[in-house]
A and B are shown apart, each in its own frame.
Chain A
């Protein structure tokens, strides 16, 4: 079991002076490759903030953030963009897809943006992933015409496109009905089992969390369990 990521004494505050909010207060977390982990905690506990920092979309106020042995705490925007593209996949709750593009175009975006064009091999991997997500009939669909559950499955396929080491999902099922939510979670579990991709999924739904092998609970800006 190799260490995938490690954060030490992570502090994140927003605002300053009177309006200062301390969201993370010295949080520590280590994850190993191949984990399927749920990130639990009440609304406002800092789940999204933690995922955003782990996803290199935001710098912590203080603390250390390493992943794959790389110190990301002080890396430049350019270096982080490249790191993110190669090693991290995202699934968000809302506004996940580019609405003016087809399902396939959305899925292959992470590869195309790196290679500067949409290659044939990227397209065939994108198709494979969509088929795997049960969207074989929706490959050329404009994403605007997809249902909520279908959109989230496209987002999962896109998160997997560049064979990332870590997929961060921020309440990926928060917007879905129970059946769609379970379908998405089943697919995530399948990918985790078959490919060994590490997942960290935030949720405040105990049933969703129960599908993960590890539960990380945040509260008061710390990991509490």
Chain B
């Protein structure tokens, strides 16, 4: 074995330029593999952070909310279809009983009780329809990291405070500290002072949302007790599918995992991962074809030598090991160089965490390069690629190989 390895090494070093070229080719394949892994991984993490990161992982929703209705002030017709009122079932009443139970579950980071609905924000002559989110004071950033998104003011919601998105504020020319009128779909109005302006980077939240304190929401939606929605944040968002049924069992309420709502997102991430797999498979295939053809040429060129070795008492197995070892060494070297090169190139990209929305470039995650996997797969692939040429070499008839 050791001796076969020596001969394999000598064969590789005997034609340095050819070996270097071959290793370089393999390294490029490995580089593509690693780059794709880091890119797909980084992209998934980025998309996840951008979308699912602010998502509640498990949601308990009261069944229905009244449609928005703009009370008629001007002339004209407002056509409105209102469904049967579901007011009675649209409230989650016994939250004080089940919230502690949920919060005691392992993997639960926090809960957020909310009263949500829709309404209209007015200042002067301007009116904009908004979704109203009533949050518990002190728990504003449990689900959406409002504190992290603040561009002006703070994310604390005292009585009489409202937080608005940057786009909305700009559209309506609103400033921090100004007073706005918020009218709920129930027709109740409140005068609120803008205590903060945030920017999440996505259109919806920045343009069409208003955050108020839970007490304000109670008034706006005429809800003396209970909430319309409980959102739950988990340590591991992928634990949601397992935890939602447990919460259902525990509370008897319809707790839903985010994956039920975000099926499309998951599908997209899945498709993206599949694309990554295909590209990586092609990178591996290229490596295998390259190594196989190079070794096939090498066994052809060394036919007389193979014959001599066989005549000197080298068995078929020995010849096989000599050529498979060459494949393994090429794969290993290409793997190591490709991984090192890949790591070096990925270092030049900004770290995934610092990659923000709207930034040009790629959300590469250097930690998801799958370096070890790339090296192992490449070595195994190169070994597999060398088996056929090596077998052909081992089966050569020594007499015709020597060609005397």
Whether the pair B1, A81 counts as a contact (CB closer than 8 A) is no
Segment of B122-130, B302-310, B335-343, B375-383 engaged in the interface with chain A = B302-310
Instruction: Give the complex CA separation of A110 and B314 in angstroms.
Output: 8
- Bound CA span A171–B310, Å: 20
Apart from A95-B304, A95-B307, A95-B308, what are 17 other A-B pairs with CB-CB below 8 Å? A81-B310, A81-B316, A82-B315, A84-B311, A85-B313, A86-B313, A94-B404, A95-B403, A99-B14, A100-B10, A109-B309, A113-B3, A113-B312, A113-B313, A113-B314, A114-B313, A158-B312
Query: Which bracket fits the contact residues of B?
Result: 20 to 34
Beyond A77-B316, A109-B309, A110-B313, whether A116 also contacts B398 by CB under 8 A is no
Q: A57-B398, A117-B2 are in contact. Are A110 and B312 (CB under 8 A)?
A: yes
Interface residues as binary, A44-83 with B (CB distance below 8 Å gives 1, 0 otherwise)? 0000100010010110000000000000000001100110
Across-interface contacts of A94 in B (CB, < 8 A): 304, 403-404
In the complex the two chains form, what is the Cα distance from A169 to B175 in whole Å? 102
Tell me whether A81 and B3 are in contact (CB under 8 A). no
Most buried by B among A94, A100, A112: A100
Cβ–Cβ < 8 Å partners of B304 in chain A: 94-95
How many whole Å from B18's CB to the nearest CB in chain A? 13
Q: Which residues of A contact B307 (CB under 8 A)?
A: 95
Contacts of A115 in B (CB 8 A): 3
Name A55's closest neighbour in chain B (CB-CB): B311
Please measure, in the bound complex, the distance between the C-alpha atom of A116 and the C-alpha atom of B314, giving whole angstroms.
10
Q: Which residues of B contact A48 (CB under 8 A)?
A: 404
B3 and A57 within 8 A (CB):
no
Which residues from 316 to 350 on chain B have a C-beta closer than 8 Å to any C-beta of chain A? 316, 318
- Docked-complex contact B313 and A95, CB < 8 angstroms: no
Docked complex Cα distance between A100 and B308 (Å):
13
Binding site secondary structure of chain B: helix
Closest B-chain residue to A81, C-beta based? Answer: B315
Q: How many inter-chain contacts with C-beta < 8 Å in the A-B complex? A: 77
Q: Mark B1-41, 1 if CB is under 8 A from A, else 0.
A: 11100100011001000000000000000000000000000
Residues of B within 8 A of A113 (CB): 3, 309, 312-314, 318
Chain A residues with Cβ below 8 Å from B1 are: 116
Q: Is the CB of A116 within 8 A of B313?
A: no
CA distance A100 to B1 in the complex (A): 19
B391 vs chain A, min Cβ distance (A): 14
A114 surroundings in chain B (CB, below 8 A)? 313
Nearest residue in B to A109 (C-beta to C-beta)? B312
B402 within 8 A of A: yes
With A81-B313, A118-B3 known as contacts, the answer to whether A97 contacts B399 (CB < 8 A) is: no
**Cβ–Cβ contact A116 & B308, under 8 A:** no
Cβ–Cβ < 8 Å partners of A99 in chain B:
14, 305
Asked if A93 is at the interface (CB within 8 A of a chain B CB), the reply is yes
B312 touches A100 (CB 8 A): no
Residues of A within 8 A of B (CB): 48, 52, 55, 57-58, 77-78, 81-82, 84-86, 90, 92-101, 109-110, 112-118, 158, 162, 170
Contact A57 B399 (CB under 8 A): yes
Q: How far is the CA of A101 from the CA of B6 in the complex (A)?
A: 11
Taking CB atoms, residues of chain B closer than 8 Å to A116 are 1-3
The 24 listed contacts between A and B (C-beta, < 8 Å) are A55-B311, A58-B397, A78-B316, A81-B315, A81-B316, A84-B312, A85-B312, A85-B313, A94-B403, A95-B304, A97-B308, A98-B309, A99-B305, A109-B309, A109-B312, A110-B313, A112-B3, A113-B309, A113-B313, A115-B3, A116-B3, A117-B6, A118-B3, A162-B313
Q: Complex Cα distance A110/B399, Å?
A: 18
| B14: A residues at CB distance < 8 A | 99-100
Measured in the bound complex, the distance between the Cα atoms of B310 and A57 in whole Å is 9
Closest Cβ neighbor of B311 among chain A residues: A90
Are the C-beta atoms of B308 and A98 separated by less than 8 Å?
A: yes
Most chain A CB within 10 A, of B304, B312, B318, B403, is at B312
Q: How far is the CA of A112 from the CA of B7 in the complex (A)?
A: 11
The complex places the Cα of A82 from the Cα of B6 at a distance, in Å, of 21
Q: How far is the CA of A48 from the CA of B311 in the complex (A)?
A: 14
Contacting pair A117 B3 (CB below 8 A)? yes
For B316, list chain A residues within 8 Å (CB).
77-78, 81
A195 to chain B, nearest CB (A): 19
